[in-house]
Amino acid sequence: MQKHLNRIRILRSIDQYLLHRAQILLWEDEERSNGRLSDVEIAERLQVHANIVHFVRKRFAEQGLQPRLER
User: How many domains, in total, are found in the chain?
Assistant: 1
Those residues whose C-beta lies under 8 Å from the C-beta of residue 39, and which sit 6 or more positions away, are: 50, 53, 54, 57
- Local structure of residue 48 (DSSP, 8 states): S
Report pTM.
0.71
**Structural domain span for residue 32:** 2-69
* Alpha-carbon span 21 to 64, nearest angstrom: 13
Would you write out the chain's pLDDT as a tens digit for each of its 71 residues? Answer: 777 666 767 767 777 888 888 899 888 888 778 888 999 999 999 999 999 999 998 988 888 877 655 55
Burial of 50 (0-12, 13-18, 19+ CB in 10 A): middle
